[in-house]
Amino acid sequence: MVDFGGWDMPVNYGSQIEEHHAVRRDAGMFDVSHMCVVDLKGPQTGDFLRRLLANDVGRLTTPGKALYSCMLQDDGGVIDDLIVYYMNSTWYRAVVNAGTRDKDLAWMRRQAPAEGLEIIERTDLAMIAVQGPQAREKAVTVLPAEGRDAAMALDIFYGVPIQTENGELFVARTGYTGEDGWEIMVPAASAATLWNNLIKAGIASCGLGARDTLRLEAGMNLYGSDMDESKHPLESGLGWTVAWKPADRAFVGRPALEAIKAAGSPNKFVGLVLEERGVLRGHQKVVVEGLGEGEVTSGTFSPTLERSIGLARVPAGTGEKVQVDIRGKLLSARVVKPPFVRNGKSCITL
Amino acid sequence: MSNVPADLKFAKSHEWVRTLADGTVEVGISDHAQSALGDLVFVETPAAGRALQAGEACAVVESVKAASDVYSPVPGEVIEGNGGLADAPESINEEPYGKGWIMRLKVSGAGALDGLMDAAAYERFLETEA
């Protein structure tokens, strides 16, 4: 067990690599109740979120549709990354990271209008992520009968509330592994029952360790490792999440980001595949011949590819080859565009 | 409970030492250590001929979680590192006292093993650490 943002969480239940493979090949689940669910309600919610977030919730018009976005400081530094669901015109649901919960809520409240917006932390909800090619088929058998059709009908990146006699569930076809699956929000009092039923349905319990190797293979950023307040989205591989259009949408951090974009960011964010034996880890130095240095922000051994992969921030002109300083030795790594693995298949040539 | 073979000596940093028939020793990490590290994915063993002090970092075992140093439990000269670990680092998880051995040493100095724990003492040591 380790402390993770104030929560005691298991790194692994058994073999971390077996848990990883369970998700890539079959079905695994993670207790992600540490994630913080925040309901934003009231007539001002849409306008508020269009100003608060770098991605544009104006793109969300269908109930249940989700959007991934950064929440930025005025200088463009990333306060957090989050998912926001459009529930209806006066209700959005955000899911933010555990370690950033307090500062996120404080920032939201500081930016909030005086009236027309309620910010409600849903500490009453737990969350279980079921992930893998067989995850939905296995998990649907333990959902309340009245919600199964709606859950199975969900498109990718949509969620749906399901009323049950024990309170409201929220099932969303989202995740952090690069596999199909659901994230299920459940009243905390029913979470242990749901977990045990999912085990009976043949879904493997997986810990934080496998969650990290899976998200890294999927090329997904981890807040606090790959980006934080001192880094902006354009040097964190998150430029695609910034909605520049419409040009007149004033979001927090926009002027700073536009200046950075116009001048050209001196750094870029890339994937690395280590070509020699060893393991990439966060904070290792990347040496780019003729251009200077960068840094590995996340690194691990990829159980699917059976070699080491990482994410790194490097000088903007970096080409296809770099070297990484691993315990005083310079080892060769190849620059690739993440993701490394999606839906069980390698996305890069090895 | 982790496996602690009675015929081995142990260091507080969780290496084991086995004295071979020819007087040289074999060194690895204990079952407790491999279990705490988790699935191993990379092992760096020392080159033959390298002279080691007792307590000197001489090998690296890296799991999916983290990299850890292995310290030589005794002073000596490396006869060989276990080349098989390059392609099969998981040998240490599977058989920490067998095919997962890390290096063989020619011990220098008499009484070099005297400061190490026997199996019973190591078991007690593990209980105090838990």
Q: What would the pLDDT profile of A195-204 be if each residue is shown by its tens digit?
A: 999 999 999 9
Instruction: Show the 3-state SS of chain A.
Output: CEEECCEEECCCCCCHHHHHHHHHHCCEEEECCCCEEEEEECCCHHHHHHHHECCCHHHCCCCCEEEEEEEECCCCCEEEEEEEEEEECCEEEEEECCCCHHHHHHHHHHHCCCCCCEEEECCCEEEEEEECCCHHHHHHHHCCHHHHHHHHCCCCCEEEEEEECCEEEEEECCCCCCCCEEEEEEEHHHHHHHHHHHHHCCCEECCHHHHHHHHHHCCCCCECCCECCCCCHHHCCCHHHCCCCCCCCCCCCHHHHHHHHHHCCCEEEEEEEECCCCCCCCCCEEEECCCEEEEEEEEEEECCCCEEEEEEEEECCCCCEEEEEECCEEEEEEEECCCCEECCEECCCC
CATH number of the domain that residue A136 is part of: 3.30.1360.120
Residues A202 and A275 in one domain: no
**Is this prediction's ipTM beyond 0.90?**
no
Residue A283 inside a domain? The answer is yes
Residues A49 and A177 in one domain: yes
The range of the structural domain enclosing residue A281 comes to: 266-350
Residues A173 and A298 in one domain: no
Cβ of A11 within 8 Å of Cβ of B38? The answer is: yes
Mutate to test the interface with B, among A1, A9, A16, A307 (most CBs of B within 10 A): A16
Cβ of B62 within 8 Å of Cβ of A213? The answer is: no
Q: Using CA atoms, how far apart are residues A72 and A318, in angstroms rounded to an integer?
A: 26
Residue A256 inside a domain? The answer is no
Residue A325 inside a domain? The answer is yes
Residue A258 inside a domain? The answer is no
Q: How many CB pairs under 8 A join A and B?
A: 38
SS3 assignment, position B93: helix
Residue A209 inside a domain? The answer is yes
CATH number of the domain that residue A325 is part of: 2.40.30.110
Residue A292 inside a domain? The answer is yes
Q: What is the CATH number of domain B9-125?
A: 2.40.50.100
Residues A9 and A140 in one domain: yes
The residue from A199, A215, A231 where one domain ends is A215
The alpha-carbon gap from A22 to the nearest alpha carbon of chain B, in Å, equals 15
Q: What is the pLDDT along chain A (350 residues), one digit of tens a residue?
A: 888 888 999 999 999 999 999 999 999 999 999 999 999 999 999 999 999 999 999 999 999 999 999 999 999 999 999 999 999 999 999 999 999 999 999 999 999 999 999 999 999 999 999 999 999 999 999 999 999 999 999 999 999 999 988 899 999 999 999 999 999 999 999 999 999 999 999 999 999 999 999 999 999 999 999 999 999 999 999 999 999 999 999 999 999 999 999 999 999 999 999 999 999 999 999 999 999 999 999 999 999 999 999 999 999 999 999 999 999 999 999 999 999 999 999 999 88
Residues A207 and A284 in one domain: no
Number of domains, chain A: 2
Please give the structure tokens belonging to residue A121.
Answer: 């932390």
Q: Using CA atoms, how far apart are residues B44 and B59, in angstroms rounded to an integer?
A: 5
The residue from A152, A180, A215 where one domain ends is A215
Q: Using CA atoms, how far apart are residues B104 and A27, in angstroms rounded to an integer?
A: 43
- DSSP 8-state code for residue B60: E
- Prior bond to A339 cis, omega within 30? yes
Q: What is the arrangement of strands in the sheet containing A66-72, beginning at the earlier edge strand?
A: A66-72, A78-88, A91-96, A36-41, A118-121
Mutate to test the interface with B, among A12, A279, A283, A326 (most CBs of B within 10 A): A279
Residue A48 inside a domain? The answer is yes
Residues A92 and A201 in one domain: yes
Residues A37 and A127 in one domain: yes
The residue from A215, A249, A277 where one domain ends is A215
The alpha-carbon gap from A11 to the nearest alpha carbon of chain B, in Å, equals 9
CA-nearest residue to A282 within chain B is B66
Residues A203 and A281 in one domain: no
Show the low-confidence residues of chain B (pLDDT under 70).
Answer: 1, 130
Q: Using CA atoms, how far apart are residues A333 and A310, in angstroms rounded to an integer?
A: 10
Residue A340 inside a domain? The answer is yes
- A167-172 and A159-164 beta bridge pairing: antiparallel
